[in-house]
Amino acid sequence: MNHFDYNLLKVLEVLLEEQSVTAAASRLYLSQSAVSKQLAKLRETFDDPLFERTAHGLRPTPRAKQLAPELHQILQQLEQFTRPEAFEPAQSTREFRIHLVETAYSLTYPFFMPSMLSQAPHVSLNSQTWNHESKEKLLKCEIDMAICSREWDERSPLHVKNISQDLNYVELVRDYPVCLFRKDHPLLQEEWNLAAFLKYRHLQVTFGGIDRWLLDEVLALDGLCRDIAVNMTDFYSAMSLCERCDLILSAPARYAVKMTKHFDLITRDVPVDVVPGNYVLLWHNHFEHDPGHRWLRELIIGNVNGEVRS
């Protein structure tokens, strides 16, 4: 270990995540042969095969699994140790990792990305969709930040007050649910109220790792529930289906306003009394004083909040 190349640790981390030499090589911008040679050095260093080849890719050995949590911590410490005290956006090549709920992309990226690309032409964002593992990744500092949905309604388990004390947050966009249905839907011949809302079957889009919406939590308090005919994971496809049948689709209002420009759908407020929720930017306390992290946070907050105010 006297002449150990610490760059090999990054290769090991990516191999553990991708479990494929081909995928790791692509992500590291290296050839497959280069990654294979570095894996051979890692095997020699740790005196362990580290990975076994299977029909589904590489399978980490018990030793590799044992190294994984310590490896991430060591790389994070090395990154912090070697990172300059000042952050110069124009010179930086830093990659930020961010998870977002699907509906947040169109409400945030178009407003802060132009400024980011202008100020920091070599900085990049590794974006992934918010999922059930995203919160844990935030708490482990495996991602830099996230944009997800949280509620102000006291009846919701996703209330802002329940955000972990290890995380900081800023509200970006306040939003509330609306209903969408086709222009010839029979409910247009009826009074729009809770009875009409519950009379017809519903199309639900599950997003942001949330299986149950606030409006369903509120309805359940009165012993009521929606009749969900189909559950999907893509709003665009759901709206396309909604145009062609008598299902009702509930969606966040700001997102719906943008998307319904592409569809022939009617919009109505949800006839359930709920407090508007919000999209929040989340990050771990660990990054609070990181100059580059602070620069990106302020860029997102300033541009997105500025768009909302305008």
Q: Where are the domains of the chain?
A: 7-82, 95-174+278-309, 177-273
Neighbours of 224 (CB within 10 A): 13
Q: Which of 72-76, 141-145, 161-165, 171-175 has the lowest mean pLDDT?
A: 72-76
Render pLDDT for 178-190 as a digit per residue (tens, 0 to 9): 999 999 999 999 9
pTM, entire model = 0.71
Render pLDDT for 3-43 as a digit per residue (tens, 0 to 9): 677 788 889 988 998 899 999 888 888 899 999 999 999 99
**Do β-strands 265-269 and 177-182 pair in parallel, antiparallel, or remain unpaired?**
antiparallel
- Partners of residue 128 on adjacent β-strands: 99
Q: What pLDDT score does 28 carry?
A: 85
Percent of the chain with pLDDT over 70: 94
Burial call 86-121: b when 16+ CB within 10 Å, e when fewer: ebebeebebebebbbbbbbeebbbebbeeebeeebe
Q: Which fold would CATH assign to domain 7-82?
A: Arc Repressor Mutant, subunit A (1.10.10)
Q: What pLDDT score does 209 carry?
A: 66
> Residue length, the chain?
310
Can you read off the two tokens belonging to residue 214? Answer: 């606030």
Q: What pLDDT score does 310 carry?
A: 47
Beta strands in 196-286 (DSSP E): 202-205, 228-232, 248-252, 265-269, 277-284
CATH superfamily for domain 95-174+278-309: Periplasmic binding protein-like II (3.40.190.10)
Q: Is 162 in a helix, a strand, or coil?
A: helix
Q: Give yes or no for residue 77 having a pLDDT over 50.
A: yes
Contact 219, 226 (CB under 8 A): yes
Contact 267, 67 (CB under 8 A): no
Q: What's the N-to-C CA distance of the chain in angstroms? A: 58
User: Among candidates 103, 247, 246, which has minimal Cα distance to 177?
Assistant: 103
**Do β-strands 51-54 and 95-100 pair in parallel, antiparallel, or remain unpaired?**
unpaired
When pLDDT is averaged across residues 158-182 and rounded to a whole number, the result is: 93
Q: Give yes or no for residue 202 having a pLDDT over 90.
A: yes
User: Among candidates 91, 82, 86, which has minimal Cα distance to 289?
Assistant: 86
Rounded to whole angstroms, how far apart are CA atoms 173 and 308? 7
When pLDDT is averaged across residues 257-277 and rounded to a whole number, the result is: 91
Q: Give yes or no for residue 265 having a pLDDT over 80.
A: yes
Neighbours of 68 (CB within 10 A): 14
Which stretch of DSSP H or E encloses residue 109?
helix 105-119
Does the structural domain 177-273 have CATH classification 3.40.190.10? yes
Query: At 78, is the pLDDT very low, low, confident or very high (cuts 50, 70, 90)?
Result: confident
Render pLDDT for 204-255 as a digit per residue (tens, 0 to 9): 998 766 767 888 989 999 999 999 999 998 888 999 999 999 999 999 998 8
User: Among candidates 175, 169, 287, 284, which has minimal Cα distance to 160?
Assistant: 169
| Higher per-residue pLDDT: 290 or 308 | 290
Q: What pLDDT score does 133 carry?
A: 87
Q: Give yes or no for residue 135 having a pLDDT over 80.
A: yes
Query: At 84, is the pLDDT very low, low, confident or very high (cuts 50, 70, 90)?
Result: low
Q: What pLDDT score does 120 carry?
A: 96
Task: Answer yes or no: same fold for 95-174+278-309 and 177-273.
Answer: yes
Q: What pLDDT score does 80 carry?
A: 66
| Higher per-residue pLDDT: 82 or 98 | 98
Rounded to whole angstroms, how far apart are CA atoms 96 and 116? 12
Q: What pLDDT score does 308 carry?
A: 56
Rounded to whole angstroms, how far apart are CA atoms 174 and 246? 29
